[in-house]
Amino acid sequence: MNRRRFLLASFATAAVSSGAFAAAPDGETWGKYFTEANAQGTLVVADLRGGKEVVFVHDRERAAQRLSPASTFKIPHSLIALDAGVLRDEFQIIPWDGVKRPIDAWNHDQDLRSAVRNSAVWVFERFAKEIGREKEAAYMRKIPYGNALSSGAEPFWVDGDLAISAQEQVAFLRRLYNNTLPFRVEHQLIVKDVLINEAGRDWILRAKSGWSGKIGWWVGWVEWPDGPVFFALNIDTPNRMEDLPKREKIVRQVLRSLDALPS
């Protein structure tokens, strides 16, 4: 479908910051992608191309529901680690502790890029221990990030009390894109660089996945010369790892339907 016709037929213009969303009609647009994947969840997309702002949502009620961010918290956590001085830059080597873990890519020294790419939990658990829970919470309140809670089971961003909505994820990513978070610009640039998943001649996809065991996330944005397209998806994962590929599949299908990602 032509992108202009798609927008006019299916959605209304709104702003993430205002909490106003246009719901995508199931069966006609995004609902079919969730149905085909046998997935329950929400997806928020904010298209800022061409100097305009169009915000789309699938399942508005769930888009406002706060859930564990899981490894998507590695985005703000990296900024916090850099600002707190427990990490110097993206090149600093974080020595492996020698503990064998179930994911082979975790079982060696890391730097920030590999730790984010491999979602190496132990690296960020080490950062959290050095930073301290109270300081982590203070940083999150300053951003702000979800409910800004660093309490509960460890790691608090997976099994603890920290929670964020898909709406809030998009709002946070927009500030990171614009370098307007309360962190040094050079640190925001570092984190954006390590979030690169793939790129073409005139576009860049920056994204991070997350999984709490029950909820799967994929959040990020696609940069184009005429502006970015932000997204935040979360789905239930009753089949655990079997459901994880659905995260990217659904988002990519939607972005392609908007001409926001090449085929």
Would you please indicate which residues are annotated as catalytic (active-site) residues? 71
Paired tokens of 35: 């149905």
Question: Beta strand 54-58 with 22-23: parallel, antiparallel or unpaired?
Answer: parallel
Paired tokens of 221: 């944005």
- Phi, psi (deg, nearest 5) at residue 234: -135, 145
Contact, 47 vs 226, CB < 8 A? no
Cα dihedral sign for 79, 121, 229, 138? negative
Which among 108, 134, 138, 145 is positioned nearest to 123, based on CA atoms? 108
Cα dihedral sign for 175, 7, 247, 150? positive
Question: Beta strand 196-199 with 204-211: parallel, antiparallel or unpaired?
Answer: antiparallel
Contact, 122 vs 114, CB < 8 A? no
Contact, 79 vs 188, CB < 8 A? yes
